[in-house]
Amino acid sequence: MNREEIKKLLPHREPMLLIDEAEKTGENTAIGRYTVRGDEFFLQGHFPDRPVVPGVVLCEMMAQTCCVLLGSEVGGATPYFTGLDKVRFKNKVLPGDTLEIVCTITKSRPPFYFAEGKGSVRGKLAVSGEFSFALIKEE
């Protein structure tokens, strides 16, 4: 699915919609991609003359990819991070790179979901971690 299709599932909008495309590859697995253009807000000042995608942004990209798996369950609800665990940053993600993210939901107890994800650039691991989030219906 492209950005417009993703917007039908996720409440995120620019500049915080951080995946360009995503696809469900199994019942509990999804792949997402984001190409770093170089003009993103999160690169301003991180770091001058040597921009690097911040680790917390990489974690958000993994979570957004994972939310694609929940499909219609996300509709009308907001996904909130409830935890991050065993997060590791192995390589930098730089302007011009396309981050490919693979996420799997490992357990669910609605409204809580538990997942693991990995993000790679050209087959080289950049980030990995476990995370949890809650889907909260807004009133």
pLDDT in tens, 65-112: 999 888 777 777 889 999 999 999 999 999 999 999 999 999 999 999
- Predicted confidence at residue 76, as pLDDT, reads 78
Per the structure, the complete domain to which residue 104 belongs is given by: 3-137
Is 12 a catalytic site residue? Answer: no
Residues 30-52, mean pLDDT to the nearest whole number: 96
**Residue 50, Cβ density class (10 Å: 0-12 exposed, 13-18 middle, ≥19 buried):** exposed
Catalytic annotation, pick one of 21, 40, 42, 46: 46
| Residue 38 CA, distance from chain mean position | 18
Residue 135 confidence (pLDDT) above 80: yes
- Predicted confidence at residue 46, as pLDDT, reads 96
Query: Domain of 107: which CATH number?
Result: 3.10.129.10
**Residue 54, Cβ density class (10 Å: 0-12 exposed, 13-18 middle, ≥19 buried):** middle
Give the number of domains in the chain: 1
